[in-house]
Amino acid sequence: MRDFIEQLPKPELHVHLVGSASLDTVLELARRHPDQDVPTERERLRAFYEFTDFAHFIDVYVKVTSLVVTGADITALAVGLARDLAANRVRYAEVTVTPVPHVMLGIEPDELAEALTTGRRLGWEQHRVELAWVFDIAGSLGYAAGVQTAEWVLRYRPEGTVGFGLGGNEVGVPRERYQVPFDMARDGGLHLVPHAGETTGPKTIWSALLNLHAERIGHGTSAVRDPNLLAHLAGEGIPLEVCPSSNIRTRAVATLAEHPLPRLLDAGVPVTLATDDPGMFHTDLNREYLLVHEQFGLSRGELADLARTGVRASFREPDRTTALLAEIDAVERQYDTEGRRTHDG
């Protein structure tokens, strides 16, 4: 199974640029900027990433973001992510970038766009991974930052821009507050992919769907609490980007055994696996696939279906989507056919 997972071509639709940085990358940045209260020794940094709850995770994420203060830092993150994705047989990734904090830290708006374009080009040239961008609002920064994010994206629109999102803490950050910037993004031709239902209940997901016109939902795991919502997601084919290790590490879900992934699949909801912040959570996409096989018994065919769902849920050009689906089919055919799980309801 490990060999199959390693060979399986995959998309990655929910990964944050800053949170993807490896320990080595963050150590390098921390040593460049020792005044930012991020550990400069490996074991202390690893301990720094032991989160007590979601609020603690956000606090650490903000501190790591404070290390990214130049366009060169942004480009290095993008190329490092492409390298790590290639090692996991990822062909295409939609990467979440939160532009306003980077601008607040002193990166010029045009420099940020240029750095992302350069990183995307080098990621393809050096690692043959196609990076696309989802620009998200840091909800904790408020409504004005939401409008600023939409204005920046629509003005600069770096090469590979596909989507517009909303991340950060969900508690006290109602989705409907950001309807105007999401309308701006939609009018500008961007796809809409907010986080919702990670640390709050189904009402947040309903709001993302009804107020923000979400086409995909980041996380969405609390949907299992609402049968009507599950039926809606399944009936409308609205995918969820599910990140098991992230949910456990941030305490959004208590234990892996309690993770709602099997219930989402049983309900017919489209699900794709993702890593969220792999550098901070000590994971990668191969590990996430192996994790759900070992914990929930997903077969080779079902793991391949998770990859296919991600490809179909992506905003990649149709011809390249077809080619990636064919790659998945070819790898699956190389292995013995394995029966699908049966469900007794």
Catalytic residues: 198
Place of tokens 């994206």: 153
Residue 145 near residue 100, CB atoms below 8 Å? yes
Q: How far apart are CA 43 and CA 48, in angstroms?
A: 8
DSSP 200: S
Q: How far apart are CA 94 and CA 143, in angstroms?
A: 24
Task: Give burial (CB, 10 Å; 0-12/13-18/19+) of 287.
Answer: middle
Residue 77 near residue 18, CB atoms below 8 Å? yes
Of 230, 179, 166, which Cα lies nearest the Cα of 202? 230
Q: How far apart are CA 131 and CA 218, in angstroms?
A: 18
SS3 162: strand
Residue 307 near residue 11, CB atoms below 8 Å? yes
Q: Tell me how far apart the terminal alpha carbons of the chain are, to the nearest angstrom.
A: 27
